[in-house]
Structure 1
Amino acid sequence: MSIQARSPSFRKALTGRSADFRPPWSSETSIKSDCTSCSRCIDACPEAILKPGPGNTPVVDFNAGVCTFCKACAQACPEPVFSDTSEPPWALVAQISDGCMLSMGIGCQLCTDICDRSALRLDLRVRPVGRIAINHEACTGCGACLPLCPTDAITLGEHIEEARHEG
């Protein structure tokens, strides 16, 4: 059996959940309180990555493509669902789990090849085959790397700054 990128339905079957992300510049709270399920944001998305989710409210489907942060969804929405688009779209960045093929000693760098911002790079200092290093400052959370990972080791999550201890 070959390893292939899994569809969200397969992921949901394995884990009992799917990874639903709300559109950039929105939140679960703003969707629940202000979204009327009119689908204007979904229709406006040039990348066609916004899909109807719970209650026909918008969710991002990264298996359909990458978010270019074009702001079309926010501009199309007549309700106060979206925040100021001059601010960062969200605090999501790529995160890599121990399920990465590199941690199993198998060479892979599909995620680094697709990352336009070079936020993911192969660090060959870790033996035997390296590891993926994430530049959290460069990562926009666009989702380009998510559907390519053959082991679903990449997720998006909020970047938490680690406290620096001075000694």
Structure 2
Amino acid sequence: MEIKLKKQIETLEREITLKSVDLDEDIEDFNVDIHDFKNQDKLITISPRCVRCNLCVEECPINVISSSTWLKRAKIGEGCVQCEICAQTCPVSCIYVWDAESEIKENDSVEYTLREIKVPHRNLKMEDISINREECIGCGSCLKYCPTNAISLRSKEYIEAHGEACPSAGAIDTEDGNMFSYIDKNRCCGCGSCANLCIQGAISLKRDLGPVVIYSHIDVNQDICVACELCEDNCPVDAIKVVDGEIFLNNDKCIRCKECTSRCPVGALNLVLDD
């Protein structure tokens, strides 16, 4: 997937000026010239298809993703180090990693190009899921975001015929009679959206989430390291230590986020894709 956006330079310069000058300053004294500019970076976004499972929130190693609610999807906040773990974890692949490039074009416009970067996906399997009928109030909140339509409203007779005890209380009163939430385990993917949204905490889920897929590593060149310790100071998961002028990297803790490589003043650390 590739997305292109354009904005006129004059418009962008005006926006920068308005954001850069205090309201009580004379805006005419502040000029911006952004010609001959090109920048490339990585961007991670969460699409509106978010199913409110909060798996990305739970798995973010530095806790910068805010929880989703019934009304809003999860949101990646400031401080994201672009480790891609959230994108690998999302059970419905609605978190995208982009190669983001911005460039000044000859027609005095700024062109933004987003190219999707395909990332490997972690395995996710539902082991068991159940509804506590004593706690369920029959509100139906568990149905809305289920990505596989594994949850439906069923009659007491249907649920009991499928091996579940079903009390008369807690039913949703419809034209078809009293209906209850029912989970088809054969269709459940184990995302946990229903459990996260249940206001009663009536849904219990056991799932198996596979390990993060490792397809790169940090290459360390000890010969040119100057022992400035910037890598250690900026590692968000405390995976690097500099001892007696030598870098020690804990690969089990490292999340391949490039914080250390981008901070190293001599290029002693580099993120390398595995063959």
TM-score normalised by the shorter chain: which range applies? Answer: 0.3 to 0.5
| TM-score, structure 2 as length reference | 0.28
Q: Structure with the greater relative contact order (CA < 8 A, sep ≥ 6): 1 or 2?
A: 1
Q: Which has the larger radius of gyration?
A: 2
Task: Select the structure that is richer in helix.
Answer: 1
